[in-house]
Structure 1
Amino acid sequence: MKRCLIVTGGTIDIAFAKDFLSQRSYDYVIAADAGLEVLRPLHISPNAVVGDLDTVDKKVLEEYQNQPDIEFEIHKPEKDETDTELALLTAARQGCEAVDILGALGGRMDHAIGNIQLMYQFFCQGMEVNIYDARNRLYLLGGHKVFHREKVYGKYISFLPMTETAKGTETAKGT
């Protein structure tokens, strides 16, 4: 399964990101606009930079534009997609089947809600999309899934339906 990391321009706890990324590896890395600024202190060079590049620091942008192995997909600010959606479309074109996103919840509430909706949109197209930050892990379930409390990320777990119907949800005490 080809795995992709997308780093967006939302607020990201760098210490969390370092720890999180030390436990994972990716086949393809995309910086969505100002997400490029987060990759810099993590010493990660993306495969692609996507978006209208309206919020990324120009000095950071120039530094990466001089690297020949990075593909730039620059869009006009007047567009129908968010930079995160454009990054997900790039991941799909690259054949990525699973995507982890950092920064999707921090910053603007309209973007956070939109990013959660994007999870469902791409899930319906067969892509596994997960959103992580220092306090949350969001992912969509389909089919049969078993959770073991001791293996769940974080202290709390919530199940929220993305459609009108949630079927087959059971909880059990014990092992």
Structure 2
Amino acid sequence: MKDKALLFINGDPPASFPSLEEYGLIACTDGAFHYLKNLNFPLDKLDFISGDFDSHSGKDDDVYDEKFIYTPDQDKTDFQKALEIITGKGFVQVDVLGGSGGEQDHFLGNLTVAFGFKDEVSIRFYDAFSEYYFIPKKFTVKDIKGKMVSLYPFPMVENITTKGLNWPLTNGNLSMTSRIGTRNFAIDDEVSVEYEKGDLLIFIGKKSDNL
């Protein structure tokens, strides 16, 4: 069984879809179901559609009734509830589309939800500008030369050292309230990051205008 899942949530619709064959499960929240229909996504590929259905009645597509999972808990977001279903099925990686755009409080909320799951499952967000995810205390990424790289502390990182970036760090500290590491770019094919304490988001964008 493939151990990677694909999840669509209710941000900006993706401009294109990844290869669906690499995923063992494909799901969406009820809000994302709207744009998937409009984009002519093959809805028969969906394993489930979950949510409180405040943005979708669940009644206008009877053929998909058996795929609707009603999750009415108002103390959790639809993203969080979908992740609970996915991790409950044993998946260890989730690629998320539609995590950004739209109302920015949703975007911040999605990052906070991902933070809560970071020790349980690998979550990677993809949008029109970048991919982004929490990284471990020792991390290496390859084939990255010329791409924008932003390092964002959540909320702080201590003793961070980077290699392969235009503006490197050596035993530095990052914090939401003082210094963050955004808008850097890779000058080598391989970038490494090590830090001792805290939690860190990496954003990997398109080719940098600086090169």
Q: 1:43 to 1:71 in 2, by over 3 A?
A: closer
Residue in structure 1 matched with residue 149 of structure 2 by the alignment? 157
Residue in structure 2 matched with residue 147 of structure 1 by the alignment? 141
Residues 1-175 of structure 1 correspond to what in structure 2 (within 5 A)? 2-13=3-14, 16-18=15-17, 21-22=18-19, 25-40=22-37, 41-44=40-43, 45-56=45-56, 58=57, 62-63=60-61, 65-67=62-64, 70-76=66-72, 79-124=74-119, 126-148=120-142, 150-151=143-144, 155-172=147-164, 174-175=188-189
Name the count of aligned residue pairs. 163
1:58-98 C-alpha deviation (Å, 9 max, x unpaired): 5x8532x4237x4322133x610111111111111111100
Name the SS for the 2:12 alignment partner.
Answer: coil
1:75-127 C-alpha deviation (Å, 9 max, x unpaired): 33x61011111111111111110001111112111110011111111112x20
Provide the rounded CA distance (Å) in 2 between the counterparts of 1:39 and 1:5: 13
1:119-156 C-alpha deviation (Å, 9 max, x unpaired): 111112x20001111112111111422123x437x831
Gaps of 5+ in 1: none
Partner letter of residue 34 of structure 2? Answer: E
Identity %: 22
TM-score normalised over the length of structure 1: 0.80
Q: 1:61 to 1:98 in 2, by over 3 A?
A: farther
Partner letter of residue 108 of structure 2? Answer: I
Name the one with the larger strand percent: 2
Name the SS for the 2:149 alignment partner.
Answer: coil
Provide the rounded CA distance (Å) in 2 between the counterparts of 1:147 and 1:98: 17
Gaps of 5+ in 2: 165-186, 190-211
Name the SS for the 2:6 alignment partner.
Answer: strand
TM-score normalised over the length of structure 2: 0.68
Name the SS for the 2:128 alignment partner.
Answer: coil
Partner letter of residue 136 of structure 1? Answer: S
Supply the RMSD in Å over aligned alpha carbons.
2.5
| Bigger RCO (CA 8 Å, 6+ sep) | 1
Q: 1:92 to 1:163 in 2, by over 3 A?
A: same
